[in-house]
Structure 1
Amino acid sequence: MTSSELPPERLHHGCDPEDFPFSTTEELEEIPLDLGQERARRALHFGIEVEREGFNVFALGPDGIGKHSTVQALLEERARMRPPPPDWVYVYDFDQPRRPRALKLPAGQGARFHKDMDQLIEDLRSALPAAFESEHYKRRTEELEEELKRRQAQAIKALGEEARMHGLMLIETPTGFVFAPMGENEEVLSPEEFNKLPEERQKAIEAAAGELNDRLREVLRQMPLWRKEMLEKVRQLNREIAEVAVNHLILELRQRYLEVPGLPEHLDRIRQDVIDNVPQFIQGETAPSLPLPLAPPDPYSRYRVNLLVSNEELEGAPVVYEDLPNHANLIGRSEYQAQMGTLVTDFTLIRPGALHRANGGYLLLDARKLLLQPYAWDLLKRTLKAGEIRIEPLEKTLSLISTVSLEPEPIPLDLKLVLLGDRLLYYLLCELDPEFADLFKVAADFEERIDRTPEQSRLYARLIGTLARRDGLRPLDREAVMRTIEHSARLAGDGKKLSTELRAIGDLLVEADHWAGAEDVSAIGARHVQRAITERERRLDRLRQQSLEQIERGVVIIDTAGERRGCINGLSVLELGGYAFGRPSRITATCRLGDGEVLDIERETELGGPIHSKGVFILSGFLSARYAASVPLSMSASLVFEQSYGGVEGDSASLAELCALISELSGCPIRQCLAVTGSVNQQGEVQPIGGVNEKIEGFFEVCRRRGLDGSHGVIIPTRNVDHLMLRREVVDAVAAGKFHIHAVDTVDQALELLTGQPAGAADEEGNFPPDTVNGRAQQRLLDFALIRQSFSAGKLLAAGQKEEQKGGNGDGTDGD
């Protein structure tokens, strides 16, 4: 074993059984699911407790780490310490029917008031008809009618008696009243008999008839007025009867809700409306039955109550999560009913939104879902800034319709809003939305990873037990807990850290419980956890298997034996659908005489990302500083990922690319049984990279399929050693001496492992020993510089001779 080779115990940071003094998780107490989230918890407590405008909370972090459950639990804990908020109802506005009034009642009284008003309507339905069908009412109306008839009869009778005095008789005909001449025996004279009367008598009768007709017309004109007076008396009687029927019902309610602002006045308006519109109720009770579209509106409907928000069953403040935060679900809506081909609505069809239900408490929203809904984000900001909930249809806001609709009275808004989202979304809103900072002043940043200490590991074991109990799973034995914690460290990509991705851990426990159930055992063991991990990889590793198959068949060329100049095995990671795997890639380098340019073929073909291009530029700077500090760098080189047909990003291959370049320069071949990963800086120091476990396992699998012979291995940065959480088969192969993992700090250490030759150290003048890798590379660059210098000198000499020839033959004469 070389000094750089890692022993097996450093390849997998396992758990110490002494840290877990229990048999199964049944023995462990439950803990909250926010393990390691102290920063986020403090921010949430602060944001919840500050009762100031704009101090809403944005909980940021990746999905699956328990943001929602943590925030929900904290909000519910805080909500239990607060009283339930008031109820809200909408009632009819008798002055402006299109603008329903909003009334606030103490918590629990909204439902009671709604029930009381329904009961009042039922009481009115029975009390009003009963009052108007009573003997007293009938007798009074009959008296008024008799009085009218008597007055009319008396007027007609008086007129008839006066007519008799003038020899006329008042006769009632089907078409009205007429005056006819009367004889001595009080019989009506015929025209012939009237003509036989003396002329003076005829004129007297005609004069009297004319005067009486005037009097008759006056009486007939008075009769409608007398009827109007009678009807007014009937209306007054109706009011008196209605007051008797209604007063005790409404006054009782009024007294019950006397302390509720606005409600006694509304009951007074109901009382007055009933009294003023008695005929509607009387006629409504006797109206014939008609089909629904043709039926007249129920006159009692305007007395109903729309119970918008009832907090009767709450023991504290509400905590509301809205899964679909669109325009209507946030601020509510007015529903419509189809009647005779048209859509109609009234105040009883107003429906609440999430802001109504959470008013006086806490509202929880997913920021991404909110931003995906048209105009919902602007609506929410406008509502928060206005401090009131105004129900307005989206089509009206956008001026898409101009029909008359309801305009409910706005309701004051008092809640704490918490948004859930990832970090990128939070930073984009901070940068691009100038109103965001005014409305969300508190950021609760959740951790993806926590330190893996013995104390934290024991708490994590309790967390695992809590998740198992929450999901109704079998308990885990100690070995299963240890394997789950090791897997958590693998998810975190660091042997010294644990992942807080509760969704992934919870899914793993569910799958392990399934395999434990298949064996009909009472507790989940380490083998069930391992099988769950293996089965999940098997479900997702189709692309990995295809990649390995192509390498095994030689379609993708990867050498794992022999030596090649300027050719090295680099390592990369592919992640698709939440599954990551490593695979080797052949990197080749070529060098030639040039002007110091290192050509990145990936960048030139627009397949390389900016970070990868940066790594290549760093290589150029390293080569110039190390080998050509005092002479021009007279080399042109090219680098490429062979058989790469997709994008290349990241600088984790820069160490491999540098070693391939130096190999090509020095002529020292590279052992193909080794693969390399790591980035490098301009000082030649090897820097850590990501995905180190997947990269090692990817090359190991290729070598395993071809047969491990003890020469194969991987070179990684020393700073990645703490991140190692390799699979057991890799660790076992290292322990058996069939596979090797080397950790290096510098390029020179990597070169010595790859070439088997000393790298060489520079003397005070910057020169390397000639029989070393660096010495050979330096010498070749010096040769390139001399060739370039001689080539340039030759070109200058040739150019000078050409100029001399032109000068000597300019005029064809000499000095003589």
Structure 2
Amino acid sequence: MPTDTRTAPDLDVGFGQQRALKALHTALDIKASGYHVFAAGENGLGKRTVISRLLTRIAADAPTPDDWVYVHNFTDPRTPLALRLPAGQASLLQQQVNNLWQQAKKRLSQRFRSDQYQSKIEAIKNSTHQKESHAYDALNAEGKQYDLALTFRSFDNKAVFVHPSQLPTESNSDDDKQIKTPSNRKNLEKLDDSEKVNILGNENTENKDSTYGNNEYEAELNNFVQKNHMQKRLSQLTIALEQLEDEANDEIEALHRSIAQRALQPLFTPIYEQFSTHPLVVAYLEAVFDDMVTHVERIVNGDDEEFVTAVLATTPSRYAVNVIVSHTPDSGAPVSLRICQPISIYWGMSSKSPN
């Protein structure tokens, strides 16, 4: 007799149940679905123990089922993609993508905060600003032929053509304003005759200036055709400058994509090679790469919840690999023990469609 029962072999619980064991082996050899085995007998005979040990022994030699994961569908976000991988690969893919996100975010932040990147952005903006300035200067020179000047309105910074006389000039001194205001005309009675003559003479001069200003305004109306022509030219220039800004934005976006591709490609290449035998997984990783390149600004800025890691999470939900089923490699088929399950579990489910 062994001194320690832990080293003793397991008892043959099927002793004396050869017919039952033969029936179980016959049932388990049937690979088709839809078959069930019912074990009947008195309590305490060891039915559950015999069946559990037999199933565990047979399942250990059976092939291990594949793993399944759910990932984000970048084409249709409402319909996630289900990816099938060999046993043990689901957790590995999840870990690799988590590490990939951490490294990608760190590397992109470094690239987009570097002095080299800032200098390239400033060069694009300065070039665009110079082109805009040259275009406005050329149009202003053209407007001078019609005695018109190009200026920007103070309240909306919009470019308009006006007569040179309407350009803003320096205001008069406060003393002149105080003397010329109607409320202070009563003070003339306190002045001597010579001062009255000087003040009234100034007012007459002001009236003449006002009359001259009206004549200028009438002259501007007479040149309506020329001004209308220049306003149309200004509208055309505005459209051209908007296109110039669009081109500058496209150039900046192309720069962002180029920087992101160079930064991310070394991180994705090893994972491509690791899962090269699984085309669907590689296609998903390529979609992740393209999505990161497209939304690199939102990733770097971190101002969008789709690209921000939630609490207790390591990866944003957009790039998370959700493991649904995972098995240990070479662990055999799983054996599930369910106690007191409803009868519908064994009968299956029926669906009723509306008429």
Q: Shared topology, TM-score over 0.5?
A: yes
Residue in structure 2 matching 1:267, options 278, 282, 285 = 285
Contact (CA 8 Å) 1:280, 1:299: kept in 2 or not?
Answer: no
The CA distance in 2 between the partners of 1:245 and 1:191, in whole Å, is: 68
Structure with bigger RCO (C-alpha 8 Å, 6+ apart): 2
Contact (CA 8 Å) 1:281, 1:299: kept in 2 or not?
Answer: no
Change (3 A) 1:114 1:75: same
Is 1:178 the counterpart of 2:149 in the alignment?
A: no
The Cα shift of 1:263 comes to 0.6
The Cα shift of 1:55 comes to 4.3
Q: How does 1:341-420 map to 2 (within 5 A)?
A: 369-371=340-342, 375-379=344-348
Q: How does 1:219-618 map to 2 (within 5 A)?
A: 219-284=237-302, 300-312=316-328, 315-323=331-339, 369-371=340-342, 375-379=344-348
Change (3 A) 1:148 1:171: same
Partner of 1:761: none
Partner of 1:116: 96
The Cα shift of 1:302 comes to 1.8
Change (3 A) 1:125 1:62: farther
SS in structure 2 at match of 1:90: strand
The Cα shift of 1:230 comes to 2.0
**Structure 1: which amino acid aligns with 2:75?**
D
User: Greater shift after overlay, 147-156 or 46-55?
Assistant: 46-55
**Structure 2: which amino acid aligns with 1:274?**
M
SS in structure 1 at match of 2:336: strand
Change (3 A) 1:298 1:261: same
The CA distance in 2 between the partners of 1:266 and 1:35, in whole Å, is: 54
Contact (CA 8 Å) 1:104, 1:261: kept in 2 or not?
Answer: no
Contact (CA 8 Å) 1:168, 1:205: kept in 2 or not?
Answer: no
The Cα shift of 1:84 comes to 2.5
SS in structure 2 at match of 1:308: strand
The CA distance in 2 between the partners of 1:129 and 1:220, in whole Å, is: 36
**Structure 2: which amino acid aligns with 1:122?**
Q
The Cα shift of 1:194 comes to 5.3
The unaligned stretches of length 5 or more in structure 2 are 171-208
TM-score by length of 1: 0.34
- CA deviation vs aligned residue, 1:248-294 (integer Å, no higher than 9, x gap): 2223212210102411111111122222333332332599xx9x8xx
Partner of 1:86: 66
User: Greater shift after overlay, 261-270 or 246-255?
Assistant: 246-255
The unaligned stretches of length 5 or more in structure 1 are 1-21, 324-368, 383-396, 400-816
- CA deviation vs aligned residue, 1:69-94 (integer Å, no higher than 9, x gap): 11111112112223422222121222
The Cα shift of 1:202 comes to 5.6
- CA deviation vs aligned residue, 1:16-57 (integer Å, no higher than 9, x gap): xxxxxx9x998x975311221101111122222332333443
The CA distance in 2 between the partners of 1:198 and 1:277, in whole Å, is: 54
Contact (CA 8 Å) 1:181, 1:205: kept in 2 or not?
Answer: no
Contact (CA 8 Å) 1:92, 1:303: kept in 2 or not?
Answer: yes
The Cα shift of 1:126 comes to 1.4
The CA distance in 1 between the partners of 2:336 and 2:31, in whole Å, is: 18
Contact (CA 8 Å) 1:93, 1:99: kept in 2 or not?
Answer: yes
SS in structure 2 at match of 1:59: coil
Contact (CA 8 Å) 1:107, 1:310: kept in 2 or not?
Answer: yes
Is 1:165 the counterpart of 2:181 in the alignment?
A: no
The CA distance in 1 between the partners of 2:314 and 2:55, in whole Å, is: 44
**Structure 2: which amino acid aligns with 1:124?**
A
Q: How does 1:68-87 map to 2 (within 5 A)?
A: 68-87=48-67
Change (3 A) 1:299 1:214: farther
Which of 1 and 2 has greater Rg?
1
Change (3 A) 1:25 1:69: same
Partner of 1:666: none
- CA deviation vs aligned residue, 1:527-555 (integer Å, no higher than 9, x gap): xxxxxxxxxxxxxxxxxxxxxxxxxxxxx
Change (3 A) 1:274 1:398: farther
**Structure 2: which amino acid aligns with 1:134?**
S
CA RMSD of aligned residues (A): 3.6
Higher strand share: 1
Is 1:97 the counterpart of 2:113 in the alignment?
A: no
Is 1:214 the counterpart of 2:221 in the alignment?
A: no
Partner of 1:792: none
Partner of 1:54: 34
The CA distance in 2 between the partners of 1:120 and 1:91, in whole Å, is: 15
The Cα shift of 1:177 comes to 2.8
The CA distance in 1 between the partners of 2:4 and 2:154, in whole Å, is: 105
**Structure 2: which amino acid aligns with 1:216?**
L
- CA deviation vs aligned residue, 1:92-143 (integer Å, no higher than 9, x gap): 2223333322212111211111100111121222122223223333222222
**Structure 1: which amino acid aligns with 2:266?**
H
The CA distance in 2 between the partners of 1:235 and 1:298, in whole Å, is: 28
Q: How many residues align?
A: 303
The CA distance in 1 between the partners of 2:37 and 2:248, in whole Å, is: 70
Residue in structure 1 matching 2:121, options 102, 117, 141 = 141
Contact (CA 8 Å) 1:239, 1:275: kept in 2 or not?
Answer: yes
**Structure 1: which amino acid aligns with 2:103?**
D
Partner of 2:191: none
Contact (CA 8 Å) 1:181, 1:194: kept in 2 or not?
Answer: no
Contact (CA 8 Å) 2:71, 2:81: kept in 1 or not?
Answer: yes
Contact (CA 8 Å) 1:144, 1:234: kept in 2 or not?
Answer: yes
Contact (CA 8 Å) 1:86, 1:106: kept in 2 or not?
Answer: yes
Contact (CA 8 Å) 2:298, 2:304: kept in 1 or not?
Answer: no
Higher helix share: 2
**Structure 2: which amino acid aligns with 1:85?**
P
Contact (CA 8 Å) 2:101, 2:315: kept in 1 or not?
Answer: no
TM-score by length of 2: 0.73
- CA deviation vs aligned residue, 1:552-588 (integer Å, no higher than 9, x gap): xxxxxxxxxxxxxxxxxxxxxxxxxxxxxxxxxxxxx
